Structure 1
Amino acid sequence: MLTGKQKRYLRAAANRLRPIATLGKNGLSDQFVDGVAKALEVHELVKLSLLQTAEETPAAVGAFISRTLPGAQVVQTMGRTVLVYRRAGLEEHRKLSVEVAKLGK
């Protein structure tokens, strides 16, 4: 579980990010979840955007991603944007998680 300091740090880091995945009328497909999982493995912090045609709500998408991908946590839901964080499995991709771990102490 992320602390308030950790969430603030991640939200600040996400200000400059562009949405990596966009959810539309096709809904939460396996391809969408696989794409989010691959992006989280490389980037650790991913911004997801929901189009107006998407039937799901941002809260439902965040809950689904948290349940489906082990270790994934929703940092923020703002409007039609969901910010998701998960620690990378490979050492070479762990940049944010090192800073997040420092803030948790």
Structure 2
Amino acid sequence: MEYTSAQRAFLRSSAQRLSPVVMVGKEGVTAAVAKALCDAADCHELVKVRFQAHKDEVKELSFQLEKASGVDLIVTTGFTAIFFRQAKEADRRRYDIKRLSVID
């Protein structure tokens, strides 16, 4: 899905207070990491991923992870990437990206 710059900025600012849920280690992007990101996106929608190794290849690994998991890459900053996938069920949604607000 394509996001506007305002939507990306909203998701990026919402992710600032999050701790990394998925860690990518020396093995790089594996099926287990992609599944962990998928599961985390199902639970949280907005997921922060931390790269502990291959720090010079963060953007490339983030694109690989996006393709492998089907979760949208929002932004990479330093050794961290932010991913988002909106929940299919309306009652499980935490972020309204059309209104740029958090649903309580």
Q: Which TM-score band applies after superposition, normalised by the shorter structure?
A: 0.7 to 0.9
In the alignment, which residue of structure 1 is the partner of 2:60?
60
Tell me which residue corresponds to 1:91.
Answer: 90
Check the 8 A contact 2:62/2:73 in 1, yes or no. Answer: yes
Higher strand proportion (structure 1 or 2): 2
1:17 positional shift: 0.4
User: TM-score, normalising length from structure 2?
Assistant: 0.84
Q: Distance in 2 between matches of 1:56 and 1:28?
A: 14
Instruction: Give the 3 Å change call, closer, same or farther, for CA 89–26 of structure 1 in structure 2.
Output: same
Name the residue aligned to 1:74: 73
Deviation, 1:56, is 6.9
Alignment match, 1:4:
5
Q: Which position in structure 1 is the counterpart of 2:39? A: 38
Q: Which runs of 5+ in 1 are unaligned?
A: none
Q: Which runs of 4+ in 1 moved over 6 A?
A: none
Q: CA RMSD in A?
A: 1.7
Q: Deviations over 1:10-58 (max 9, x none)?
A: 011011001001111122111111000000011111000011x337711
Contact map agreement 2:29 2:65 (CA 8 A) in 1: no
Q: How many residues align?
A: 99
2: CA distance between counterparts of 1:76 and 1:92?
26
Say if 1:26 and 1:54, in contact at 8 Å, map to a contact too.
Answer: no
Give the TM-score normalised by the residue count of structure 1: 0.84
Distance 1:33 1:88, change over 3 A: same
Structure 2 unaligned runs (5+)? Answer: none
The 1:91–1:63 alpha-carbon spacing in structure 2 relative to 1, beyond 3 Å, is: same
> Which amino acid in the other structure matches residue 72 of structure 2?
Q
CA offsets, 1:65-93, max 9 Å, x none? 221233x2211111110111111233332
Give the whole-Å Cα distance in 2 for the aligned partners of 1:30 and 1:66.
12
